[in-house]
Amino acid sequence: MEPDSLPTELILTHPRQSLGKIQLDWKPQPGNYLDFEGKTYAVLERRHRYQLKSGRYRLNNIALYVQSAQRPAEKSLVAGRWVVGDATCRYNAHSEIIRCAVKPDGPCECCHFYESIN
């Protein structure tokens, strides 16, 4: 095992089932996307699992709770993080997972609900 990689279990949220275990050399955050066995998944939650060894707790593995998703074509950079959709719209959720309350599936282009924040 490489020093920066941890065993990571992918768990599908609905229906709840384990998709398998993989080694990752990065630590996906909720809102990130990852590809596994030809499918794309959105990370919803990350849980760390620790093990007590020699009187110290050490990170043993990570569980990622995911759902099947498509990578969004529209993204905006807001305060150093990527959000889905056009962040200049008043209705944008400023989230990595959901675009907005009015038209969550998008696209933002030509949306008749668009209102500029400015």
86 and 106 assigned to the same domain: yes
Instruction: Evaluate whether residue 1 is within a structural domain.
Output: no
Domain total in the chain: 2
Instruction: Evaluate whether residue 58 is within a structural domain.
Output: yes
29 and 57 assigned to the same domain: yes
Instruction: Evaluate whether residue 116 is within a structural domain.
Output: yes
Range of the domain at 111: 72-118
Average pLDDT score over the chain: 85
From residue 80, give the alpha-carbon distance in Å to each of 8, 90, 108: 26, 19, 21
As given in the structure block, the two tokens for residue 84 are 């889905």
Residue range 45-61: mean pLDDT, rounded:
93
Residue 25: its pLDDT value, please? 83
16 and 63 assigned to the same domain: yes
Look at the pTM and tell me if it is higher than 0.85: no
